[in-house]
Amino acid sequence: MKRNDGRKHDEMRKVEGKVGIIKRADGSAYFRIGDTIAIAAVHGPRELHPKFLQNPERGILRCNYDLMSFSVPERKRPGPSRRSTEISMVTKQSLLPVLDLEQFPNAVVDVFIQIVQANAGTRCAGITAASMALAHAGIPMSDLVSAVAVGKINGDVVIDIDKYEEDTDNATDIPIAITGRSKEITLLQLDGEVSKDELMKGIELAKNGCDKIFEVQRKALIDFIKEKKNE
Ligand code: ADP
């Protein structure tokens, strides 16, 4: 099957990333995949209030994902929704395994993710940007997390489906997040039907895609350090 925009089955849309885009935040990042653009800002670690929410053993992570009103064709009503609450939760779960928050008892690290432009794959773009922003903020991490969605359209397993493909009949979307070096899967969501073989093929595609995304993330962080040195 030929894809809508002519990409090969294993070809992602163009990806790019940058860190240090929001001066007031402790860490920040931009990540783009095709027409999907995510920005992430990290605040903290800082003391958590109200105090009864504090954990004396480790800092806690809070993630907040949202689509900007102008990010989708029809204006999106501002404020949280069931969808944004679910995505915020899975984002947190996909990032927690690489974070070491034991050094920050009673503290909170807040991650705000805004989707500036949406054309499918926004939760993955948000997770990728958030991971870069956390590293930029200097939060102790054992690894980065990279994410991309794979999917099945009309029987073909492909990487990074766009909105047009997602809206075709029989489309299945499988967002996957993978740690950069240790290659552990920290998120896998699946609605729709796939066989075991198709799922394994999808995971292979996601691994290759995440390798490329990991390189973009690393390069963004290295470029930032180089620029700082030259200042
Ligand atoms: P993801 O963005 O992670 O793929 P979904 O599968 O929930 O998550 O959404 C798929 C796509 O549908 C989004 O990327 C976006 O392009 C579009 N979309 C989501 N919410 C809205 C909305 N409220 N209005 C218009 N389009 C939306």
128-160: per-residue pLDDT in tens?
Answer: 999 999 999 999 999 999 999 999 998 999 999
163 belongs to a structural domain: yes
**Exposed/middle/buried for residue 80 (C-beta within 10 Å: 0-12, 13-18, 19+):** exposed
The per-residue pLDDT for range 192-204, each reduced to its tens digit, is 899 999 999 999 9
1 belongs to a structural domain: no
Q: Is pLDDT at 231 greater than 90 in this prediction? A: no
Task: Enumerate the β-bridge partners of residue 147.
Answer: 177
- Residue-number span of the structural domain to which 187 is assigned: 15-230
What are the b/e assignments for 99-124, b being 16+ CB within 10 Å?
bebeebebbbbbbbbbbbbbbbbbbb
The per-residue pLDDT for range 39-76, each reduced to its tens digit, is 999 999 999 999 999 999 999 999 999 999 999 999 99
Question: What separation in Å is there between the alpha carbon of 123 and the centre of ligand 1?
Answer: 9
Is 144 within 8 Å of 98 (Cβ atoms)?
yes
Q: What pLDDT was estimated at residue 49?
A: 97
Question: What separation in Å is there between the alpha carbon of 80 and the centre of ligand 1?
Answer: 14
Whole-angstrom distance, CA of residue 89 vs CA of residue 96 = 11
Question: What separation in Å is there between the alpha carbon of 193 and the centre of ligand 1?
Answer: 20
**Domain harbouring 163, CATH code:** 3.30.230.70
pLDDT greater at residue 230 or residue 57: 57
Whole-angstrom distance, CA of residue 144 vs CA of residue 222 = 13
49 belongs to a structural domain: yes
8 belongs to a structural domain: no
Domains of the chain: total:
1
9 belongs to a structural domain: no
Q: What pLDDT was estimated at residue 194?
A: 95
101 belongs to a structural domain: yes
